[in-house]
Structure 1
Amino acid sequence: MLLPSRPAPVLALALLLPPLAAAAQTPMTATEFEAYATGKTLTYAQGGTIFGTEQYLPNRRVRWAFTAQECQEGHWYEADSQICFVYESESDPQCWAFWQEGGRLKARFAGDPDGTELTEVEQSKTPLACAGPDVGV
């Protein structure tokens, strides 16, 4: 998952979470994450607002899009108990801790001191519909 260059503040969300709730979560391994996500298209929300959607393809490839934006192709790998994503438009990896809660994925961004946290709100087997600059040409 790719974060926007200026992530939205999540202080209000952080204040609503019990202080130790995040610490109690056991991050998924790469094997667990791959088994859960591959072949699915998952939509994530942050604080109740849709954040973006990612399609998990075979061989740890992904296709990500913020809501109503062009898709980014990339891949993921495991590093230090986190799932890290690298996209064609970003050279720096975006690393997340994933865990399951209530039958859905939750993710916390590793590089954000405010603790950006996303929740899976929808899943399907349908490929991600990608907007693009050449659509309709």
Structure 2
Amino acid sequence: MTIGKHLRGCALGAALLPGAVSAQTIITPEAFLDAAVGKTLTFYEIRSGGLVGTEQFLNRSVSVWREEGQGCVYGQITTPNGQICFLYDNDPDGIPVCWWPFLHEGRLMVRLASFAEGEIQEVRTMTERGLNCPGAPLS
């Protein structure tokens, strides 16, 4: 199932996806979470095409992030000001990393919510498989 088709069936509704999506369509963090909770998403850096990492959305407030070759890191999810933010257990400065989710030509993307760095990542897969991380909360 493609990401766009999955989101069409979620709370985004027909207003955001009336057919072929052209340009960029902002997605609310709530709609993003409606699609992501209970799923595991892979994120790729749009410019290089390289895998950034994989994130399992355990519920609307907790996720598990794993970079390639690294261990699991748990994150607290918040949704301030139209952004989806993650504060991970291993974050040394205690400042959440925030993203703006959007659709571009039917592809789910996130843009770093920092004007200094405009990193964009694409969600290439959304599966039911977990990351099998130790100590993961069940809900």
| TM-score between both structures, scaled by the size of structure 1 | 0.71
Write the letter of the residue equivalent to 2:44. A
Answering whether residue 55 of structure 2 is matched by residue 54 of structure 1, we say yes
Answering whether residue 98 of structure 2 is matched by residue 95 of structure 1, we say yes
> Residues of 2 paired with 1:125 and 1:112: CA distance?
33
> Residues of 2 paired with 1:41 and 1:120: CA distance?
10
Q: Is the 8 A contact 1:34 1:60 kept in 2?
A: no
In the TM superposition, residue 114 of structure 1 has moved relative to its aligned partner by: 3.5
1:111 counterpart residue number: 114
The 3-state SS of whatever aligns with 1:73 is strand
Classify 1:50/1:94 alpha carbon distance in 2 versus 1 (closer, same or farther; 3 Å).
same
> Residues of 1 paired with 2:130 and 2:63: CA distance?
11
In the TM superposition, residue 130 of structure 1 has moved relative to its aligned partner by: 4.3
In the TM superposition, residue 124 of structure 1 has moved relative to its aligned partner by: 1.0
1:6 counterpart residue number: none
Q: Report the number of matched residues.
A: 108
Where structure 2 has 5 or more consecutive residues not aligned to the other structure, the ranges are 1-22, 135-139
**Aligned-residue CA RMSD in angstroms?**
1.9
Q: Is the 8 A contact 2:29 2:101 kept in 1?
A: no
Q: Is the 8 A contact 1:27 1:82 kept in 2?
A: no
Where structure 1 has 5 or more consecutive residues not aligned to the other structure, the ranges are 1-23, 132-137
Classify 1:129/1:101 alpha carbon distance in 2 versus 1 (closer, same or farther; 3 Å).
farther
1:14 counterpart residue number: none
Answering whether residue 36 of structure 2 is matched by residue 33 of structure 1, we say no
1:135 counterpart residue number: none
> Residues of 2 paired with 1:107 and 1:119: CA distance?
6
2:127 counterpart residue number: 124
The 3-state SS of whatever aligns with 1:99 is strand
Compare the two structures and name the one with the higher strand fraction. 1
> Residues of 2 paired with 1:52 and 1:70: CA distance?
11
Q: Is the 8 A contact 2:99 2:113 kept in 1?
A: yes
1:85 counterpart residue number: 86
The 3-state SS of whatever aligns with 1:128 is coil
| TM-score between both structures, scaled by the size of structure 2 | 0.70
